[in-house]
Amino acid sequence: MYICPMIKIDDVLVSDDLKDTYFACNLKACHGDCCVAGDAGAPLEEEEISILEDYLDEIKPYMSEKGREVIELFGVFDYDTDASYVTPLVDNEECAFVYFRDGISFCAIEKAWLEGKIPFQKPISCHLYPVRLNKVGDFTAVNYEKWDICKPALIFGKEKGVPLYRFLKEPLIRKFGEEWYGKLIGVMEKKEETYG
């Protein structure tokens, strides 16, 4: 089994894949399928549940009718097989917060944020995707989650020359802070100079 080397920055372990993988979302090619595929909703942090509950009335107008029905019946969160918090699903498929335009999946939470209705962009797990966070002892591990539906993003990222750690600059800063991201850039650029 291949184990990707990790870079330690403060109390965070970052996979070398963030340097070695080129990535840039291409919604025209993938149609936002990460919001409709999989066996569970998007991971939620506990504090995000109360945020979604607080701003639900502002988010609902952007949701699909089925999504609103699911939220009204079950609330803004569900549990996955590990009993972790996730967004609920519609018909065990798309996230309840998804809406569709021209065959592409979009996030109703983010739409409410873009329209200036709420101060919360979207769950950090969605913002960081295709990276997932896991606890490893006292550390948070940042790992690239490989998924076939993201093949267009790998092609597009390679064409644009955008490594994953640069593509995810905004959500990484949102999660870990500017100072931490500056350290990450320093380590990644040093590695690029060393290994080309």
C-alpha distances (whole Å) from 62 to each of 99, 110, 113 are 7, 9, 11
- Angle, helices 178-195/169-176, rounded to nearest 10 degrees: 130
One domain for residues 139 and 194: yes
Does 142 map to a domain? yes
Put simply, whether the predicted model's pTM sits higher than 0.85 gets the answer yes
One domain for residues 49 and 117: yes
One domain for residues 140 and 162: yes
- Domain hosting residue 65, numbered range: 41-121
| Helix H or strand E encompassing 141 | strand 139-144
Final residue in a domain of this structure, among 73, 91, 121: 121
Look at 8-12, 36-40, 136-140, 160-164 and tell me which has the smallest mean pLDDT.
Answer: 36-40
One domain for residues 66 and 101: yes
One domain for residues 140 and 176: yes
One domain for residues 14 and 50: no
> Structurally, how many domains does the chain consist of?
2
Does 1 map to a domain? no
DSSP-derived pairing of the beta strands 139-144 and 12-15: parallel
Among candidate residues 153, 170, 150, 162, the one with its CA nearest the CA of residue 188? 162
Q: Which two tokens stand for residue 196?
A: 């080309």
One domain for residues 50 and 108: yes
Final residue in a domain of this structure, among 86, 121, 156: 121
Q: Confirm if 169 and 162 have CB atoms less than 8 A apart.
A: no
Q: What tens digit of pLDDT does each residue of 20-57 get?
A: 999 999 888 888 888 888 778 899 999 999 999 999 99
Final residue in a domain of this structure, among 68, 97, 121: 121
One domain for residues 12 and 56: no
% of the chain surpassing 70 pLDDT: 95
Which pLDDT value is given to residue 192?
56
Q: Which two tokens stand for residue 151?
A: 């093949």
Q: Cα separation of 68 and 89, whole Å?
A: 11
Q: Which two tokens stand for residue 195?
A: 């290994």
One domain for residues 133 and 188: yes
Give me the mean pLDDT over the 6-33 stretch: 90
